[in-house]
Amino acid sequence: MSDSFPWLTVIGLVPLIGAVVLGLLPRTATRLHKSVALVTSLVVLALTIAMCVAFEPGGDRFQFVQAYDWISAFGVQYAVGADGIALVLLALIAVLVPVVILASWNDADAAPPEQQIAAGTEAVGADVASGVAVRPRRRSVRTFFVLVLVLETMMIGVFAATDVFLFYVFFEAMLIPMYFLIGSYGGPRRSYAAMKFLLYSLAGGLLMLAAVIGLYVVSADQGEGTFAFEQLVGLEMSTGVEIALFSGFFIAFAIKAPLFPFHTWLPDAGAEAPVGGAVLLVGILDKVGTFGFLRYCLPLFPEASRILGPYIIVLCVIGILYGALLAMGQKDLKRLISYTSVAHFGFIGLGIFAFTTQGQTGAVLYMVNHGLSTGALFLVAGFLIARGRSRLVPDYSGVAAAAPILAGTFLIAGLSALALPGLSTFISEFLVLIGTFSRYPVAAVLAAIGVILAAIYILLAYQRTMQGPLRLPAGVDKIRDLHLREVMAVAPLLALMIFLGFYPKPLTDVINPAVEATMKDTGRTDPTPTQGRGDAAAPAR
């Protein structure tokens, strides 16, 4: 069954079918909308688990392959397949979407929490962050969950595509549901944040489209024009053309990642998005950028990657330190978490462009573990904001005394984000640093400073909000602890952090062969270790 069953097509279609079913249900049946969305996401999770079990780590590089002509005149195909890198990211999607649906159960029922502070007898709120009076708006619960399910289909498609043009279609299409999630269900500056997110992404997408067309032209000059990934690997092109095409892909992926200095849209989008949207945005959508580095930039443009790699390493190190320093100074809890992701994506980029097996394996593992830890951080922050109706860190103190479970989940998620040994992110960060050190020791040492800064900004945020005497935002008299639904939403993420912190082998077993294939495509090998104190290391390719 594993050889013939269309796993990737089915798991991509299920959420789309669920979205259509939701669209046919009565608008007022809100509980039914939520239940259908949750069941649909759980079906995708079950199918994805079955697909992962059927995957053979020692088998073909791409498995569950399907290829059908789509636009045959231009060599465009509906072509999908999964290697180990794509597989673990598809599994991350399958885990996070039901978590988001469960955690966002009531989020679309009313205005965002920070807009719900009553002002007299009128249905008017005050935006705590800006002090601007706002009126809570009625929003469609059905539309919220339709957007989440459509977004799931697009995310599955972008990681499963093995045709470059099909990848581009999903790359652009997934912007639409996320734009409406931010713009319709976000915070007080939602319109600005949604438009900024869309414009940045579209600008990058246009550059990538030009590069995709360029790839087709190059392939047509050498035979039959194609967009098939495996046929594009190894194309002969001049260094100038390769650098130009690499740049088109790289800038699009760097914006999506987001990598410094292309990151400026993320703090606004992460802060203004609804909590569930922020989890999917930072936990999955941003991984398309780093996935694109590994899947397309390195194998398709090996010479350009070699030439530009050291400069990208510099950007990654700057991003690690810059993101960490800005996170330390944030008063808005959601912006703080968004800036931590800028630092984390610097680590991921560092591992990718170090061109070592350890670094790239660590980078892929980091993508998964970052989705778990940052997803949990956003969820817990959302639970806190829903109770206090404020995003500002100084408005809270001593929450642990009144809500110990909430504080405990915040602490575990935060410790994972700062890469505490025993939690999953530590393994990722350790592999990235040792993989980078073997080729770029100065960059690895500077990046290690980011580990210290991460401990500072996470522990300071925890201390200020959870410890000390109890203090809550104005108008809030008490704060309740997490209830069962919220615990059920965040518990799987915490469990995976702990499990993968001690036993990452299930992931590394499927990641390693894909990383080795990528290294082979780029023509790079791991640096040769020195044999003795006086021996110089052999030059690495």
pLDDT, residue 86, reads: 93
pLDDT, residue 112, reads: 54
pLDDT band at 44 (very low <50, low <70, confident <90, very high): very high
Which residue carries 């319709």 as its tokens?
184
pLDDT, residue 150, reads: 94
pLDDT band at 430 (very low <50, low <70, confident <90, very high): very high
pLDDT, residue 110, reads: 58
pLDDT band at 472 (very low <50, low <70, confident <90, very high): confident
State how far the Cα of 48 lies from the Cα of 512, in Å rounded to an integer: 20
Phi, psi angles (nearest 5°) of residue 162: -120, 5
Task: Indicate if the pLDDT at residue 128 is higher than 70.
Answer: no
- Bridge partners of 126, per DSSP, are 133
SS3 67: strand
SS3 64: strand
Task: Indicate if the pLDDT at residue 230 is higher than 70.
Answer: yes
Of 90, 74, 258, 91, which is closest to residue 164 (Cα–Cα)?
A: 74
pLDDT, residue 106, reads: 81
State how far the Cα of 476 lies from the Cα of 245, in Å rounded to an integer: 55
State how far the Cα of 517 lies from the Cα of 266, in Å rounded to an integer: 32
Across the chain, what does the average pLDDT equal? 86
pLDDT band at 369 (very low <50, low <70, confident <90, very high): very high
Domain ranges for the chain: 7-522
Task: Indicate if the pLDDT at residue 133 is higher than 50.
Answer: no
Q: Please tell me the pTM assigned to this model.
A: 0.89
Residue with the larger pLDDT of the pair 93 and 29: 93
State how far the Cα of 341 lies from the Cα of 320, in Å rounded to an integer: 9
Q: Using an 8 Å Cβ cutoff, are 364 and 515 in contact?
A: yes
pLDDT band at 141 (very low <50, low <70, confident <90, very high): confident
